[in-house]
Amino acid sequence: MEIKIGMVAPSKAGKTSLLATVFSEMQLKLAGNQLGIQYWAENDRTRNAITRVMAEYRAITSSDDIFATPQMSGNVETSDYRFSYTIPVRSGAPQRLNVFFKDFPGGLVGMAEFANEVGPFIRESDALLVPIPADLLMEWKDSVGVNDPMSIRRNMAATCMLRTNDTISIIKDWVACRTQENADSLLIFVPVRCEAYFNDNGGTSDKSDRLFDAVKELYIDALNLSESEKRHVQIEVQAVDTYGTVELQSVDLIETPNGDMLESKFRKRLSCGNEIKSKGAFDVLAVISEFELKKSAKALEMKVEDLKQKIADRSFFQNIFRMIANIFTTDNEKRAVVQNMVANEAAYEAISVISGLYSTNEYRRRIFAKAGD
């Protein structure tokens, strides 16, 4: 079984870093789980990317000095990143659930090459992630509508670095394609480097409402979705602390030959030690897992809570063939859903477990639209 997750963001927005952080938090969350679910990078490219990013994280968190915006080595080519769960079954070989991302050079956003190298994968993705550097997002929010020359320059620099027009255009095309296929989809905006804007992970201030408002104003409102599109897409915002051990010192306007740029400067919190304390990244994958179950429950005309309970107590799979024979004989859509769940019994158990590990505290999460509502 495979879940395809698309991403769209410009250069240095944190796409690869987000994947590495998801992987790191997933390993912690699933440690010692009762089903024996194991989780790892599927290929050398994925393992090497995670190793590189985590080494750069450690270098950042070991510094006591002020440092500029951490610039992870960006992708120079489009890359397929695969993560796998292996789930023991009662008999036979373990089942696998593959999670498939496609990372790409952010410079492709807005270019013709994007349509050829990334576009087909994006259109096939049930979920789309939009990583957003929170420091740039909040600079845009703080300077928008302020008419002094410096604020105008800062706002233009933030908008250019976020590549909002190109990003929104790609999102709109994806939503339109999925709506045309009558397929429910999940759109998650993921502000990263959020340490300065939440107070639940060592931060000292709560600017969460302002951050969520910024995502809504800059991205969600600009999508201007039709009523039909709104019925088919669920829109969420999930904020992530990338490091959890640093604090934002300043965001400086820098003149370059290519125009104004913003440079963020961070400093490690001296009381935090060198341990990386990211937060919120696991919840991105948990929300996607929950949405996969929601789609199956909708097709079967069940409540998602009831479906999860049946998966947990195995009554769903114990009676599955009787259900196919007696209930879904003439309903091809339901029949296909049930047959897929039978073929991937253990994978659905894993999805249910992962979705159940999501924190019920929605301090870092906002839902702006629900598919089907």
Question: Confidence class of residue 159 from pLDDT cuts 50, 70 and 90?
Answer: very high
Residue 326 reports pLDDT greater than 60? no
Average pLDDT over residues 293-312: 82
pTM over 0.85: yes
pLDDT value of position 336: 78
Residue 203 reports pLDDT greater than 70? yes
pLDDT value of position 356: 79
Question: Confidence class of residue 71 from pLDDT cuts 50, 70 and 90?
Answer: very low
Residue 14: partners with Cβ closer than 8 Å, 6 or more residues away: 72, 131, 133, 192, 193, 242
> What is the per-residue burial (b if ≥16 Cβ within 10 Å, else e) of 13-34?
bbbbbbbbbbbbbbeebbeeee
Of residues 12 and 240, more confidence is placed in 240
- The contacts found for 270-275 with CB under 8 angstroms, 24 or more apart, are 270/64, 272/61, 272/202, 272/244, 272/245, 273/245, 274/58, 274/61, 274/62, 274/245, 275/61, 275/245
Of residues 7 and 208, more confidence is placed in 208
Average pLDDT over residues 152-171: 91
Average pLDDT over residues 300-305: 82
For domain 2-297+362-369, give the CATH number: 3.40.50
Q: Distance between CA atoms of 351 and 85, rounded to whole angstroms?
A: 10
pLDDT value of position 246: 78
pLDDT digits 0-9 by tens, 72-101:
444 446 667 777 777 766 656 666 777 877
Q: What is the DSSP pairing of strand 38-41 with strand 79-87?
A: antiparallel
**Least confident interval from 37-46, 158-167, 178-187:** 37-46
pLDDT value of position 366: 93
Q: Distance between CA atoms of 255 and 353, rounded to whole angstroms?
A: 49
Which of 64-73, 169-178, 310-319, 344-353 has the highest mean predicted lDDT (pLDDT)? 169-178
Distances (CA, A) of 246 to 153, 200, 206, 211, 216: 27, 13, 16, 18, 26
Q: Which residues pair with 265 in a beta bridge?
A: 68, 250
**Which of 154, 76, 153, 70 lies closest to 117, judged by CA?**
76
Locate tokens 């007696």: which residue?
326
Residue type, 69: T
pLDDT digits 0-9 by tens, 230-249:
889 999 999 999 887 778 88
pLDDT value of position 19: 82
Domain regions of the chain by residue span:
2-297+362-369, 301-353
Residue 217 reports pLDDT greater than 90? yes
- Per the CB < 8 A criterion, the answer to whether 283 and 129 are in contact is no
State the chain's mean pLDDT as an integer. 80
pLDDT value of position 92: 61
pLDDT digits 0-9 by tens, 116-152:
667 777 888 889 999 999 999 999 999 999 999 999 9
**Least confident interval from 33-42, 88-97, 361-370:** 88-97
Of residues 303 and 190, more confidence is placed in 190
Residue 26 reports pLDDT greater than 70? yes
- Per the CB < 8 A criterion, the answer to whether 45 and 81 are in contact is yes
Angle at Cα 102 formed by Cα 97 and Cα 105, nearest 5°?
A: 160
